[in-house]
């Protein structure tokens, strides 16, 4: 349990900025799809090489890159748009992953594979999470400014950058890496929940990027610890859903009480009605 708590402490540091930028870049659904798309990679690696961290990373990264490349190829070359091709591919990938895992008669129960378990966190997983967090945090220290610029104003960013596509690709790589890091504690289905929900919840409270990243971390950590404790005292509840439910509660509380939640929506609408030549930006 101590191991799980410390693992998720480090993990929260790592997934918070990744989730925050997925939300800001309007890629929340792409992140979700990516989480499912890497399943067959992990499963095939697992069936071939056993449940080692190394095989999981190789399998997951390969599948992630393959799906991302295939998605953009389908979107460019055929009539199907990017969202539809991503949805098609991740459904196929998820089904394939579960199929192979069940057919191979896995040693790991399907439930903990999909939904995570605290007991799954061994020394190797701790190392993986530590390495993921290190790479993620160093990356963000380096690419924070380009990332902010390209998110706010991609056209301006392209005018300034030598290779504007690099930031986006690196960002997607960090997503896959963090999904793999979160996989043991939360399971493949729930891993992305720890990225997206704290980030959407925090968005209702803050107006600067620094505060946003900090609050996202706090929410992620609170979700992990409360979720783990719940899952510890209710032994039949896997940790993934417990953590994501706590994050969900935080989301709804933020929606109701956050200054940019329902609250501000009411205020904006009433001030718009009073002042018809609107002082608010047109979107």
Partner 1 sequence: MKQPLLSASGLALGYRDATILENVSFALDSGDIFAVVGHNGSGKSTLIKTLLNNLAPLAGTLRWERGKPDTIAYLGQRTEFDSHFPIRVKDLAAMGVWSSLGLLGQVDSDCQRRIDAALERTGIANIANMPLHQLSAGQLQRALFARTMVQDAPLILLDEPFTAVDQNTEAELLTLIDDWAAEGRTVVLVLHDLSAVLQHCNAALLLGRGRSIFGEPKSTLAPSNLIDFGYLSAGQAAWIETMYGSSENNSV
Q: Does 105 bind partner 1 (CB under 8 A)?
A: no
Residue choice 81, 111, 211, 267 for contact with partner 1 (CB under 8 A): 211
DSSP one-letter code for 258: S
133-152 residues near partner 1, rule: CB under 8 A = 141-143, 145-146, 148-149, 151-152
Phi, psi dihedral angles at 162 (to 5 degrees): -75, -50
Taking alpha carbons only, the member of 105, 82, 119, 98 closest to residue 1 is: 119
Q: Does 28 bind partner 1 (CB under 8 A)?
A: no
Counting every residue, how long is the chain?
283
In sequence order, the 6+-apart residues with CB closer than 8 A to the CB of 171 are 18, 21, 25, 143, 147
* Residue 241: exposure state from Cβ atoms within 10 A (0-12, 13-18, ≥19): buried
Residue choice 206, 218, 229, 249 for contact with partner 1 (CB under 8 A): 206
218-277 residues near partner 1, rule: CB under 8 A = none
> How far apart are the C-alpha atoms of 281 and 147, rounded to whole Å?
23
Smallest distance from partner 1 to CB 11, Å: 23
Q: Does 159 bind partner 1 (CB under 8 A)?
A: yes
Size of the site for partner 1 (CB under 8 A): 31
Residue choice 5, 24, 87, 214 for contact with partner 1 (CB under 8 A): 24
Q: Which residues bind partner 1 (CB under 8 A)?
A: 24, 141-143, 145-146, 148-149, 151-156, 158-161, 203, 206-209, 211-212, 278-283
């Amino acid at each position: 349990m101590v191991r799980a708590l410390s693992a998720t402490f480090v993990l929260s540091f790592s997934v918070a900025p990744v989730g925050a930028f997925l939300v800001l870049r309007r890629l929340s659904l792409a992140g979700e799809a990516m989480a499912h798309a890497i399943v067959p990679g992990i499963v095939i690696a697992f069936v071939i090489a056993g449940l080692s961290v190394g095989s999981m990373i190789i399998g997951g990264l390969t599948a992630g890159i393959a799906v991302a490349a295939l998605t953009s190829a389908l979107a460019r070359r055929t009539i199907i748009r990017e969202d539809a091709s991503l949805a098609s591919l991740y459904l196929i990938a998820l089904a394939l992953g579960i199929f192979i895992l069940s057919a191979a008669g896995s040693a790991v129960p399907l439930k903990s594979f999909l939904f995570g378990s605290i007991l799954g966190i061994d020394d190797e997983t701790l190392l993986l999470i530590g390495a993921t967090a290190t790479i993620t945090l160093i990356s963000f220290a380096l690419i924070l400014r380009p990332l902010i610029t390209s998110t706010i104003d991609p056209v301006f960013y392209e005018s300034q950058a030598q290779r504007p596509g690099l930031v986006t690709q690196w960002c997607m790589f960090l997503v896959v890496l963090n999904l793999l890091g979160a996989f043991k504690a939360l399971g493949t289905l729930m891993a992305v929940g720890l990225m997206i929900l704290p980030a959407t919840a925090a968005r209702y409270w803050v107006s600067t990027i620094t505060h946003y990243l900090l609050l996202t971390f706090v929410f992620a950590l609170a979700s992990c610890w409360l979720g783990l404790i719940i899952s510890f005292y209710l032994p039949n509840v896997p940790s993934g859903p417990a953590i994501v439910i706590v994050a969900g509660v935080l989301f709804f509380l933020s929606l109701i009480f956050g200054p940019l939640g329902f609250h501000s929506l009411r205020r904006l609408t009433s001030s718009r009605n009073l002042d018809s030549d609107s002082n608010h930006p047109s979107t």
